[in-house]
Structure 1
Amino acid sequence: MPSIGSKARRDRIVHLATTTGLASVEELSARFGVTASTIRRDLAKLTHDGRLARTYGGAMALSAHPEASLRQRIGEAFPAKRAIARWAAEQVRPGETLLLDAGSTVGALAHELRTVKDITVATTGLTALQALSDVDTIHVECLGGTLRPLSQGFVGPLTEAALERMTFDRVFLGTDGISAEHGICEADLRQTRLKELMAQRADRVYVLAHAAKLGRRPFHAWTPLREGWTLVTDDSADPRILEDLRARGIHTVLTEPEAATELP
């Protein structure tokens, strides 16, 4: 293909992702005859502009799947989610009481917690419940309510009422997107309201989100970020977005397969 300008290339990337679905960095690099680093910069720009959603190693069109189901998201960016989950599990101490959100990354954390003894875990997510239901050394509380089939999580007044009866050492939140300006993005206002209440009941608040979700604004329901919260992501995160988050008092942790680095 003859060389084209960056704007035209980005427009074609959006068209390709919209018409054919997932597009990998390698496929796009070969198609447009540019380096992989150039494609990554294109994808970062398109994600920042809200035109694409990043995946592990590629991109997908936002319009193709307004809200992906939990089943669809479980395999997305799995190495990054596993590294994030392992770091989060290492923070937990015996005797603590934890609150786990719904979602695939928090579900991965629940799996990592199976070997931790003498803790209490309350959760709104079916994935976490399934991961911990047969572990004798962990006390599990289900915060029931109205089940959202897409997210496999409970929401609504019954869930909120149950939260009022407990406090927690740590809460681990998932998200569909995160913005320094707006906060945590979800498809449903009930989800964002619940996350805000969950954070209010815990001493330490962690948001678990792989790098593709940073700067992403796929929906219009938000939970505001609060100073002192910790974002746990992976080392491919956009430095500009991380800097914006730190400027608002958010601690950031970057994970990789064998290590994690906490930034000031």
Structure 2
Amino acid sequence: MATNSHMRRDEIVKRATTVGLTGVEELAAHFNVTASTIRRDLARLTAEGLLARTYGGAMAPAAHPESALRQRAGEAYDAKLAIARTAAQLIQPGESVLLDAGSTIALLAHELKATSRLHVATTSLSVIAELNDSKGIDLECLGGRLRALSQAFVGPLTEAALERMTFDRAFLGADGVSATDGVCEAELTQTRLKELMARRAERVYVLAHGAKIGHRPFHFWTRLGKPWTLVTDESADPDELRAFEAEGIDVLVAKNPAAAQSDPPAEVKPQNALLQ
């Protein structure tokens, strides 16, 4: 696998943050270069803070601590807005919808404020704040233990409430998402809750902007057994998206905010779109 030095180092970092790195000799064989070339690559990437050296190889630096919801709200805002607007157009009048926590989900809630004949259940304080005064929305708040970082409820009380309800659609957030492993989260309590959310809905959507596709910041995963749809944006790596499609996962790619407002996704019949 011959490649130039810039592309090779980019690929080394990508492998370190997704599948992990093997030793120097294995990397040299993979890239069809000498071991000394790989050592120079690793030294440079380590100096730049992109890798941490180990005996005989390298690894990704220790994962950053989970950031608070208010810190994430401004990250990749345009991409999240495009995703939220695309997701909103999937929802039909009269449906029952489950909204997870997260900054993209909060933007989706904002897009739904003016809709009518909609039942929404959520664990998210941000969603509650967006929809609490919406006259056309019947809002259910799923209580439990408040998780401060995500500003959302988790735990057995939340799960007990969910067991008594079903939904037409569930929209899940993610810290990272993988074609093979599902949704990555910071805590096991979150993975358990998302699994239950997915089981209680007819259709399941994971909203994740391009930087989260293939990203593995933590070691806890939600496996989504039933068919589900990934809603992402144009910054997502096409090769990563093909991996999802190969696993039978539907993929919707949101256009930029201006375009996403005018062109509904293929699943929506124009006469039923809420955002017309």
- Which amino acid counterpart does residue 120 of structure 2 have in structure 1? V
Q: Is the 8 A contact 2:94 2:117 kept in 1?
A: yes
Match of 1:21 in 2: none
Give the drift of 1:167: 0.5
1:226–1:249 Cα contact (<8 Å) kept: no
2:83 maps to what in 1? 84
CA contact (8 A) 2:166 2:200 kept: yes
Tell me the residue number matched to 2:193: 194
Task: Name the aligned partner's letter for residue 228 of structure 1.
Answer: P
Q: In 2, distance between residues paired with 1:140 and 1:95?
A: 13
From the superposition, tell whether residues 165 and 204 of structure 1 become closer, same or farther in structure 2 (CA, over 3 Å).
same
**Deviation by residue 1:80-123 (Cα, 9 ceiling, x = unmatched):** 00000001111111111100000000010000000111101000
Distance 1:93 1:45 in 2: 44
User: How many Å separate the matches in 2 of 1:67 and 1:175?
Assistant: 12
Hey, what does 1:247 align to over in structure 2?
A: 246
Q: Classify 1:126/1:62 alpha carbon distance in 2 versus 1 (closer, same or farther; 3 Å).
A: farther
CA shift, 1:262, in A, is 5.7
Shift of 1:256: 1.3
CA distance in 2, matches of 1:120, 1:63: 41
Cα distance in 1, alignment partners of residues 155 and 226 from structure 2: 26
Per the TM alignment, residue 48 of structure 1 is displaced from its structure 2 partner at its CA by 5.1
Q: 1:104 to 1:131 in 2, by over 3 A?
A: same
SS at match of 1:161: helix
1:236 paired to 2:235: yes
Q: TM-score, normalised by structure 2?
A: 0.74
Q: Is the 8 A contact 1:233 1:253 kept in 2?
A: yes
Return closer, same or farther for 1:72/1:88 CA change in 2, 3 Å cut-off. Answer: same
Q: Is the 8 A contact 1:82 1:108 kept in 2?
A: yes
Q: What amino acid maps onto 2:6 in structure 1?
A: S
How far apart are residue 62 of structure 1 and its match? Answer: 6.8
Question: Which of 6, 17, 28 matches 1:50?
Answer: 17
| Bigger-Rg structure (1/2) | 2
Q: Report the TM-score, using the length of structure 1 for normalisation.
A: 0.77
Contact 2:63/2:217 (8 A) holds in 1: no
Asked if 2 retains the 8 angstrom alpha-carbon contact of 1:98 and 1:168, the reply is yes
Note the residue ranges of structure 1 that are not aligned, 5 or more in a row: 11-41, 52-59
The within-5 A match list for 1:167-206 is 167-206=166-205
Task: Quote how far apart the aligned CAs of 1:6 are.
Answer: 2.6
| Pairing of 1:1-264 with structure 2 (within 5 A) | 5-6=5-6, 10=9, 42=10, 46-47=13-14, 49-50=16-17, 63=62, 65-257=64-256, 258-259=259-260
Alignment root-mean-square deviation, CA: 2.2
Report if aligned partners of 1:48, 1:216 keep a CA contact under 8 Å in 2: no
Q: Work out the CA distance in 2 between the residues paired with 1:159 and 1:233.
A: 27
Work out which structure has the larger RCO, using CA pairs closer than 8 Å and 6 or more positions apart in sequence.
Answer: 2
* CA distance, structure 1, for counterparts of residue 186 and residue 103 of structure 2: 15
Unaligned ranges ≥5, structure 2: 19-49, 51-59, 268-276
Q: 2:121·2:141 contact (CA, 8 Å) conserved in 1?
A: yes
Number of corresponding residues = 219
Q: What letter matches 1:229 in structure 2?
A: W
